[in-house]
Amino acid sequence: MALVAVLLLMFVGVAAVAVIAGSVFFAIGANASNKHTTQSFIAAESGRDAVLANVLSATCSLTASNPLGGGGVAPFYVASADVCPSATASSTFTITSTGYDASGAMSKIVSTYSRLVTYENQPGGSLAYFSGTFKLTKSTYTGDVVIRDGDYNCNSDSTIDGDLWVPKGALEISAKCVITGNIYVRDGVNLKSSNSTVGKSVVAGGSITMSAGGMIVGGDLVSNGTITVDAGQVNGKVRAAGVVDVKSNPQVLVVGAVEQNISPAPAVFSPTLNDVFAMTAWVDLPAAKAVWGTDVDWVTYTPETDKKGNKSCLLDVASSMTKSLATGMKRVGIDYSACTTDVTVTIGNASLNRDVLFLIPSGVAMNVKINGPVTSLLAAKSQLFFIHGDANTTNPAPNCRTGGSAGDDIVLPATLDAFVMFYTACGISKEPNAFTGQYYAANDGNSHWVQPSFTCKSMKWAPVIDLGCKLGESAGSGTGPTVTTIQKPVRVTQVEVKP
């Protein structure tokens, strides 16, 4: 019996040793496999970084490689990017990299980067993105207007309290249009409305015709073509690179000198028309939080669930806006990326001593409902940025979400003690109360689009947003070259895929 007991103990001991040995060998094998996987993954990231450096170089290159068996030393990789990032506009590019360790193990990653190109005091406002068929539906707009697409016919009664730019076409004024500032046009200008006024000068790359008695230009007529004045009043000079024809009749009054055949051509645009066109292009603002700065104290909004299990995103966020800031943080960001249903940013009573950003994903509608008083404790008013992500960030155009033709909804109090910016590719469905700030939206071709009544105000959220209201003065008194800043690229996503 003693011998049997000893034998049983020995059997148990051998079994235990076998199990332990098996576990050890498994751990050794797993560690070896993990080592190969880790080394190949590190190699893939090295390839990604090599391509990133190449695409950002002065002479962009889309590939980088140090293949296994090529005679080099680790890390081994083969990597490439899909496109070179634009040097003049915000862009998105993707890098695919496969890494190898010395044994031949592979890892593959796909990384998407966003690189913003921003302009100092870049013009914003709702009227920077429309074609020449657009009619100014509000009686007054404060801020410069840029008609980006072709010719523009100002054929509806309206007032633009600022400058009018037509950088890609010609201009015709055929209704009661009042422009308090200057007019800058790439091609010709036809002024034929008797009850219209231009507060300052008309500067054109093409010829100018003025044929309406009663129309007044407060400054100069400046053309790189010819100028014909059949009727109307010019309180400044008439200056042209070609011939000037000022009719002699009671309907014509030119107060200043008449100068023709001027060389070099007198119409000067500063900033240039190309710069104006680039500055007013639609910007796909990124949804990645990392892009919006390192001093942002983020609050992640968690959708609420009712008794039936339905989820919604509509609770009041005033407490999140006024929360105590974490050490080193100066601003608050509220992230709605977890919301899969329409978002209603509800704000009751809030007294602010900081700027606040609201980041709403592209796949849902954005509704803003400010109920209570919002006051600012800052000498310069607090800024509220409502950013409804663009549904397609790979092309430089506004893209509303699928099925999003109804537009977003904005409800504001009669007075608001803060500057607000609304960014949406979907437009809004109805006009809110007037506000001060920026409305960065685009006409998506649907009749629902509404231009709100607002006073343009310069707003800034470094390093992404720097929006102004004026493009500067031209015709010899310009502000000089446009200040362009190419931001550092930010990795928006990275996924590991099967090689």
Q: Write out pLDDT tens, residues 202-232.
A: 999 999 999 999 999 999 999 999 999 999 9
Share of the chain above pLDDT 70, in %: 84
Domain boundary assignment for the chain: 2-118+492-497, 128-271, 286-463
Q: 3-state SS of the chain?
A: CHHHHHHHHHHHHHHHHHHHHHHHHHHHHHHHHHHHHHHHHHHHHHHHHHHHHHHCCCCCCCEEEECCCCCCCCCEEEEEECCCCCCCCCEEEEEEEEEECCCCCEEEEEEEEEECEEECCEECCHHHCEECCCCCCCCEEECCEEEEECCEEECCCEEEECCEEECCCCEEECCCEEECCCEEECCCEEECCCCCEECCCEEECCCEEEEEEEEEECCCEEECCCEEEEEEEECCCEEECCCEEECCCCCEEECCCEECCCCCCCCCCCCCHHHHHHHCCCCCCCCCHHHHCCCEEEEECCCEECCCCCEEECCECHHHHCCCCCCCCCEEEEECCCCCCCEEEEECCEEECCCEEEEECCCCCEEEEECCCEEECCCCCCEEEEEECCCCCCCCCCCCCCCCCCCEEEECCCCCCCEEEEEECCCECCCCCCEEEEEEECCCCCCCCCCCCEEECCEEECCCEEEECCCCCCCCCCCCCCCEEECCCEEEEEEEECC
Q: 352 pLDDT exceeds 90?
A: yes
What integer pLDDT is reported at residue 9 of this predicted model? 77
What integer pLDDT is reported at residue 108 of this predicted model? 95
* pTM for this predicted structure: 0.71
Average pLDDT over all residues of the chain: 84
Highest mean pLDDT among 146-160, 354-368, 437-451 belongs to 354-368
Share of the chain above pLDDT 90, in %: 49
Q: Write out pLDDT tens, residues 413-457.
A: 998 999 999 998 888 888 889 888 888 876 555 544 566 777 888
Higher pLDDT, 285 or 45: 45
Q: Write out pLDDT tens, residues 224-262.
A: 999 999 999 999 999 999 999 999 999 999 999 999 999
